[in-house]
Chain A
Amino acid sequence: MRCHWVARTLPALLLLMVLPTGALAHAEGASAGAGFVTGFLHPLRGIDHVLAMLAVGMWGAQLGNPAIWVLPVAFPQVMALGGVAGILGLPLIGTEFGVTVSVLVLGSMIALDRRPPLWAALLIVSFFAVFHGYAHGVELPGKTGAVAYSAGFVMATGLIHLAGIGIGFVVKLPHGVKLLRAGGGAIAAAGLFLTAQLLPR
């Protein structure tokens, strides 16, 4: 019996993902090899970024076709544009504030089951994507290992997004719609808390 092609190619893909770091670490010193790992871990470090990205995926799954596939394709581009602004040092006011507010807004959208037209959803998500990309763009390293770092950063961001879509598939279960909305509510609450922390006392 032939197993599914995904099962057959997955080990090779995983190997491909791991190989560059391992091999480069030996061949070219720590900088290039560490680049991928550093870049990959970067989006995972901030809880606000992780929550917002999960929310983007969950909301996309809630909205269904076409948002479920348009968002993962469009998101990295907008994020990269934000990253470009960050690298070039263009002024953007309240970066961290923008990220926490988007956690609040995106979480609320899921909790309230809001279904705006695609362009409006894209606009809301783009708002977050620019801030997200900017926040990381400012901290990107110089020329050394730029490709590995950027690839790791983009891949991790995309994978959290896909994880959000995966969570969004709970709508297929009985009571799944309520479960998803509750999850959105939890994210919104976390967003409110994070935003409140940033406010001056």
Chain B
Amino acid sequence: MIRTATAPTPVLRPHLVIPTALGGLIWLDPAPALAHGSLAVGDFYSGMLHPLLHFETLLPTLALALWSGQLGSPHAWRLPLAFLGAALVGTAAGILEIDLPLGPAALRLSMLVLGLLVAVRGKLPVSLAMTMALLFGLFDGQTNTYDPETKIERPFLFITGVGSSIGLLLFHVVTRVVRYRAFWVQTGVRVVGSWIAATGLLVLTLEWGAGK
């Protein structure tokens, strides 16, 4: 890619769009945010931290972002959007206590499958890739509500938080993988994919193979 000194200024500035949208969403939340006593915005932060603080949800998201970036143009924005949308639905389902069959196992499997795809730079038909992004996103989102320590009082804020951090993570990783085509960067991406797949394989065996 040739980068000229006078690059045209993009009309849409993604780094401004996301915070603005977030601010709008929080503002739209019906209940008064700073009621006496409890700081109700807490659920937004709790939701925002969840996908990033837990390896079980962080690693599949990271793998999907790396893979989308590798695949390039149409996939690079379709897959993350599908994943993000599905994750929001999954989080809502988790709050409503609708259990998806095979939830945790499917999430581990997504680490293995997506990690391997990154490691080998695998290409799949769009329909199959989209189905995977939707399914894995659903499980990823739902897992954010499993933590028994988390008391969700304001589901709307929690879901907004989850969506914003998953969205930011996907956006940042995908754009970097798409943009930096240097050999060592792309190799590093494959190595990280391989790490995620290896982690998935070990965890799957630990949790379901050991017969405990």
What is the number of contacts between chain A and chain B, taking CB atoms within 8 Å?
110
A87/B210 in contact, CB under 8 A? yes
Question: Scoring B residues 187 to 212 as 1 if CB is less than 8 Å from chain A, else 0, what string do you get?
Answer: 10011011101110111011101101
A81/B176 in contact, CB under 8 A? no
Which 4 pairs across A and B sit closest by C-beta, in order of nearness?
Answer: A76-B198, A80-B198, A150-B202, A80-B201
Contact of B59 with A by CB under 8 A: yes
A88-B191 in contact given A20-B55, A147-B59, A151-B59 (Cβ < 8 Å)? no
Secondary structure at the B interface, as helix, strand, loop or mixed, is helix
Question: Scoring A residues 136 to 156 as 1 if CB is less than 8 Å from chain B, else 0, what string do you get?
Answer: 010011110011101101110
Question: Within the complex, what minimum Cβ distance (angstroms) separates B108 from chain A?
Answer: 8
Contact of B109 with A by CB under 8 A: no
B52/A16 in contact, CB under 8 A? yes
Contact of A95 with B by CB under 8 A: no
Number of chain B interface residues as a range? 20 to 34
Number of chain A interface residues as a range? 35 or more
A146 vs B176: C-alpha distance in the bound complex, in angstroms? 30
Interface residues of chain A, those whose CB is within 8 Å of chain B, are 5, 9, 16, 19-20, 23-24, 27-28, 36, 69, 72-77, 79-81, 83-84, 87-88, 137, 140-143, 146-148, 150-151, 153-155, 158, 162
Task: Identify which of B55, B119, B172, B210 contacts A77 (C-beta below 8 A).
Answer: B119
A88 vs B205: C-alpha distance in the bound complex, in angstroms? 8
Chain B residues near A27: list those with CB within 8 A: 53, 147, 149
B202/A80 in contact, CB under 8 A? yes
> Smallest CB-CB separation from B210: which chain A residue?
A87
For the A-B complex with A28-B147, A83-B198 known, give 7 more contacts whose Cβ atoms are closer than 8 Å: A9-B176, A73-B191, A81-B201, A83-B202, A137-B202, A146-B207, A150-B199
Contact of B178 with A by CB under 8 A: no
Contact of B49 with A by CB under 8 A: yes
> Smallest CB-CB separation from B112: which chain A residue?
A80
Contact of B129 with A by CB under 8 A: no
Most buried by B among A9, A74, A154, A155: A154
> Smallest CB-CB separation from A141: which chain B residue?
B206
Chain B residues near A137: list those with CB within 8 A: 202
A28-B149 in contact given A87-B205, A87-B209 (Cβ < 8 Å)? yes
Question: Within the complex, what minimum Cβ distance (angstroms) separates A121 from chain B?
Answer: 17
Contact of B180 with A by CB under 8 A: yes
Question: Within the complex, what minimum Cβ distance (angstroms) separates A112 from chain B?
Answer: 27
Chain B residues near A72: list those with CB within 8 A: 187, 191, 194
> Smallest CB-CB separation from A74: which chain B residue?
B194
Chain A residues near B52: list those with CB within 8 A: 16, 19
A168 vs B172: C-alpha distance in the bound complex, in angstroms? 31
